[in-house]
């Protein structure tokens, strides 16, 4: 591990996490998050964690959660996160997350928590609404503030939660004295938003109506090719970029552009006069080529769970050193007795 626990990093610190709620991350995760996480290793003192504690706001099978936590960590590394250059750890390995989470719950108003858009959306869809679903933005704030993160890369859907984190940091600092770095949001680029292959008006998501619409980054090459060749397209035959009139074709062009680095305009010109089938073949090829090394590396790691656990233990040690300094200061500020 690099000395991620250094008190005064020369680069700004960033922090990002993904929930361990699926066997495989999908192409939207890769394009929308993982690619940018990898780039942050060049510019930031980067912390990455597997949010397995957030996962249990809804029911999880214990054995499956353990397996998915390892699989998610392996995919992080397979995508290019280097444990020698960044800090990779599992949320539940650091007790300070829940310790600070409780203190921030006591700093959060009930009305603030109930106004969170994701709580309103999810509670409206579930018969059983856990208290954790209501309070998890306070745990998310703890995830960030523990590590004195300067910047937090988030999707647009998490902007409200980060604003709450900033408010809680400022509120705590005002009441108890300067304790937390107030983090800035880095909204992940939305220029390459990926949509469901079978419903190109819906964002690609693990809750897809059918697996055929979801490109999982651990799919084998035959499965990837079949899904892309079966993708819903649009009326007409001309390959043009028009997300409203031709969402299916536009989605395929977006995927190709995001992975190949070629512009949409260049691709439209290349496929002028060609059929949708030609585009699908080209997209399948670039997806397979991009994901092949990621899948290979991930499966190698999963074949050696002891080594993967060693990497995560080392990451937890480095993260714990940073978190412990913060939680000791917080305990002192709020008036908890020393042991």
> Of these residues, 206, 226, 246, 280, which one is catalytic?
206
CA atoms within 13 A on the CB side of 18: 26
DSSP E strand boundaries for 148-189: 151-154, 184-187
CB 224 within 8 A of CB 291: yes
Residue 206 appears among annotated catalytic residues: yes
Q: What's the CA gap between 171 and 87, in Å, rounded?
A: 28
Annotated active-site residue 280? The verdict is: no
SS3 at position 250: helix
Which one of 125, 189, 203, 274 is the catalytic residue?
A: 203
User: Which residue in 120, 122, 226, 229 is the catalytic one?
Assistant: 122
Could you tell me which residues come within 8 angstroms of residue 38 by beta carbon, excluding any fewer than 6 positions away? 79, 80, 81
- Looking at the DSSP bridge assignments, the partners of residue 16 are 48
Read off the tokens for 58. Answer: 């809804």
Question: Among this protein's residues, is 122 annotated catalytic?
Answer: yes
Cβ neighbours for 187, distance < 8 A, ≥ 6 positions apart: 153, 154, 155, 156, 159
Tell me the C-alpha distance between 188 and 195, whole Å: 16
Tokens of 153: 């890369």
Residues marked active site are found at 122, 203, 206
């Amino acid at each position: 591990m690099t000395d991620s626990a250094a008190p005064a990093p020369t680069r700004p610190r960033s922090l990002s996490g993904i929930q361990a709620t699926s066997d495989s991350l999908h192409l939207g995760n890769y394009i929308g998050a993982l690619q940018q996480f990898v780039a942050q290793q060049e510019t930031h003192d980067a912390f990455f964690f597997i949010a397995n504690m957030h996962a249990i706001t809804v029911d999880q099978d214990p054995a499956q959660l353990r397996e998915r936590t390892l699989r998610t960590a392996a995919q992080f590394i397979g995508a290019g996160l280097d444990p020698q250059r960044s800090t990779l750890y599992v949320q539940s390995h650091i007790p300070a997350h829940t310790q600070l989470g409780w203190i921030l719950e006591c700093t959060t108003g009930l009305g603030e928590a109930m106004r969170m858009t994701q709580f309103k959306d999810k509670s409206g869809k579930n018969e059983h609404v856990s208290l954790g679903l209501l309070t998890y933005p306070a745990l998310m704030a703890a995830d960030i503030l523990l590590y004195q993160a300067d910047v937090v890369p988030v999707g647009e859907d998490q902007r409200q939660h980060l604003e709450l984190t900033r408010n809680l940091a400022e509120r705590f600092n005002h009441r108890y004295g300067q304790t937390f770095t107030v983090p800035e949001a880095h909204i992940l680029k939305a220029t390459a938003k990926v949509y469901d292959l079978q419903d190109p008006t819906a964002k690609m998501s693990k809750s897809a109506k059918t697996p055929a619409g979801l490109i999982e980054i651990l799919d084998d090459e035959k499965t990837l090719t079949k899904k892309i060749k079966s993708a819903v397209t649009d009326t007409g035959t001309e390959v043009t970029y028009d997300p409203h009139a031709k969402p299916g074709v536009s989605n395929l062009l977006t995927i190709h552009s995001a992975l190949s680095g070629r512009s949409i305009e260049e691709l439209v010109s290349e496929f002028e006069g060609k059929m949708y089938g030609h585009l699908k073949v080209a997209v399948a090829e670039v997806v397979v080529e991009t994901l092949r090394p990621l899948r290979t590396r991930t499966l190698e790691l999963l074949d050696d769970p002891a080594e993967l656990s060693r990497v995560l233990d080392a990451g937890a040690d480095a993260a714990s050193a940073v978190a412990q300094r913060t939680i000791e200061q917080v305990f002192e500020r709020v008036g908890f007795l020393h042991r």
